[in-house]
Structure formats: structure tokens, C-alpha cells
Structure 1
Amino acid sequence: MEYLLELLIFRYGYIGLTFALALGIVGVPVPDEVLLTYSGYLAGNGTLHPLLVVLCAFLGSALGITLSYLIGIRFGLPFLLKYGPKIHISAAKIERAQGWMNKYGNVLLILGFFVPGLRHITAYMAGMSRLKFSTFMLYAYTGALSWSVLFIYIGFLLGDRWLHVKYYVHHYGLAFLLCGGIAIFAVLSFRMLLAMRKVKA
């Protein structure tokens, strides 16, 4: 895994990160969270520029989820039922996502990014329901940015232990992500308060 990610990043750089994430969101089996965390680790050790990593990650995520949305509009449910299993999107996952979409609405476009397997389907659902594109962008792009920043920052913090995130995401899923998100938000808020105090002083 580490070797493949190194090959991707060092051969194709930021462009490789962007397109790998785009393909991963559409449904191609790309280890999205691990790729983001590894990129955060490289940003932390100076190999990559942090702002460019965040920008490319967001662009890739936004590109992938927009493509999924457009496929949902153009081809609908029959296309997803026919070709979904080839990219690990089963009929059961589609049915479950439809239920969640009916229950949680557009917010699922944000939360779906943080649930492996769900983010690959929510945009298809939004497209099939003919959700207005401006509304789709608001929710989906917010999710893309939040998800990208969270995992990049986790990789930045973990350093050489960046690969541990794969275990925690696989075993603890959303609970780990929520705790990680809350912890990072608390750290950033604390740092902001300290900076404000210094300015006032």
C-alpha cells in the first residue's frame, strides 16, 4: 500500500492526487482516506506544500462527486444497478443509501463523505432525484472540503504513524471520524484563541 501511494505521488504529484481522489469518489477502488492521510504526512515533512495538497484534494473530491451527480441525472437508477456491482456498489447499498437520503436529505451529501462506501452513492442519488445543482454544490462541496481537510490534517499530526488511520477507519468507522473531527476542531479553536490573545496583547 505505502509503495503504491509513493509511486502515485512521486510520479504524478499533485495531479495524481487530484485524479486518484476523483476516481475514488466515482467508485473506483482507491484507498481515499489512506491517500489523504499519506498526503498530509508528506505535507508535514515538507515533501508537499500543505495548501496545494488541500486544494488538489478538494478539487479531486469535488470533481468526482460532480461526475457521479451528472451520471445520476443522465443515466439514472438502471445504470447504477447494472454497473454499480462492478465498482462495489451493490443493490443493497443503493437501497440503504436511498433510505438514508429520504431520512436525512441533503445533509447526507456532507456526512456521506465520512462513511466509506456511502460517499460513492450519495451523489448518484442526488442526481437521480434531480436535486438542483446549486443546492448540490453547497452540500457536496462542503462535505468534500471538510473530509479532505480532516484526513490531511490527521496525516499531518500522525507523522510516521499515518498508516494507522487505515485500521481505525476500517474498525471504528464513523465514531473514529467524529472523534477525530471534534478533536481537531478543538485544537484549531484553541490555537485561534491563543493567536487572538497575542494580537490583543
Structure 2
Amino acid sequence: MFEEFILTILHAFKSLSYFGVVLALTFEFIPAELVLPLVGYWVYQGDLNLILAISAGSIGGVTGPLTLYALGRFGGRPLVEKFGKYLFIREKDLVASEKFFDKYGPIIAFLGRFIPGVRTVISVPCGIAKMNVWVFSLYTFLAMVPITAIYVYIGYTLGPHWTDAASLIAVYLKPIGIVILVVLTFFFLWKYRSKLRKR
């Protein structure tokens, strides 16, 4: 029932073309995992251009997280705990994202986009920590370009079966996130050891 309601909203946004794609992704209660494959289907139908659709999706992939970033920056954790449920922010996901941020710092704004359960709410601890908004936006955009491209392209490839995209993509995104996490862990260990040697 809820998904049908969301689909009705998305079809209304379709009339706004690429701006509608950005707008749909700006509202964090609408899952990007639903929006982007549908956008790919619109490309399949010939209503949108693939490159422009990916570009619009990547921009929306920044404006959406910026709303949660602002919630964390200007409201702090108490406001998030009070109103986060209306944006489908679960307590366990918030705690997980805070732990990731504490461990890896600002780069988590990029890395967190590839980690299921952390992807959506990672913007909150970035805001609470008052991370530079331009750095946050840049990291988020760099992560969202490949993610958006994957979702939209698979939705385009699947055509009428675009609803199968989310489960299919999850299989690929998780290993990518793990690889990135391992690489960054080794990078930070290398930097840490380099500092110790200089001392």
C-alpha cells in the first residue's frame, strides 16, 4: 500500500522531467532504491536521456542527504531521536553510522554510501560533527555518481522488470563497500605507521 502511494507520487514527479528526479530524491522518505530503477525504466521508455537521468539522480543524491545533514547539524541528536522516525531513521542504524563516523572520520561521507544500513543515515553524524558542508557534498556526490549510474542503468536494462533491480544491485554493492572499507583501513594504518616513524 505504501509503495503504491510512493509510486503515485513518483509518476507525478515524472511530469517535471529531470527536475522531478532531483525533487523525488530530495525527500528522504522516498527510497532511492525505488526511485533510481524507475528512472532507468523511464529511460527505457524513451522519456528521459540516460546520461541526463544519471546526472539528475546524482544531484538528487546530494540534496537528499543534505536534509539529514542539516537535521544533525542544527538539531543535534535529540532532534534526530525525536523526529527521525518520520524519516524512517532507525535507532540501530543511527548508532551504526555514528560508530563508522567515529572510526573513519569525514571520509565516511563517501564510504558510508556503499554500506547497507548506514547509507541513508550517515549524513546525520556528519551534521552533528559539523563537518564542512562543501566537503560533505563533494564526498557524497563522488559516491552517488557510480551508485546512481548502477541503479539507473540496471533499471534501464531490466525495462518492465525494473522492480527487481534493488535486490539485484544489493548483491554487487555490498562487496564493493567491503573492498573500499578494506582499502581505506590499510590506507589509514599506513598513515598511522608513517606518523609513528616520524616521531
Same-fold status (TM-score > 0.5): yes
Q: What is aligned with 1:20?
A: 24
Summarize deviations over 1:113-141 as a string: whole Å, max 9, x none: 34454233111111111212332123111
Alignment of 1:131-170 (within 5 A): 131-168=131-168
CA distance in 1, matches of 2:85, 2:69: 18
> Judging changes above 3 Å, is the alpha-carbon distance between structure 1 residues 161 and 83 closer, same or farther for their aligned structure 2 residues?
same
The 2-side partners of 1:57 and 1:146 are apart by 10
Structure 1's 162 and 72: CA in aligned 2 closer, same or farther, altered over 3 A? same
Question: Which residue is equivalent to 1:84?
Answer: 84
Q: Secondary structure at the match of 2:47?
A: coil
8 Å contact from structure 1 (residues 41, 158) kept in 2: yes
- TM score, norm. by length of structure 2: 0.74
Residue ranges of structure 1 left out of the alignment (5+ in a row): 182-201
TM-score normalised by structure 1 residue count: 0.73
- Tell me the residue number matched to 1:38: 38
- Shift in Å at residue 156 of structure 1? 2.1
RMSD: 2.6
User: Any runs of at least 4 consecutive aligned residues in structure 1 with deviations exceeding 4 A, and if so which?
Assistant: 178-181
Asked if structure 2 preserves the Cα contact closer than 8 Å seen for 1:41 and 1:160, the reply is yes
Q: Distance in 1 between matches of 2:13 and 2:26?
A: 15
Identity, in percent, stands at 25
Shift of 1:23: 0.6
**1:176 corresponds to:** 172
Instruction: Call closer, same or farther: CA 1:166–1:8 in 2, change over 3 Å.
Output: farther
Partner deviation per Cα, 1:65-97 (whole Å, 9 max, x = no partner): 222222221111111011112222122221121
Please state how far the C-alpha of 1:151 moved relative to its aligned partner.
Answer: 0.7
Distance 1:137 1:89 in 2: 20
Contact 2:97 2:121 in 1 (8 A): yes
Corresponding pairs, count = 173
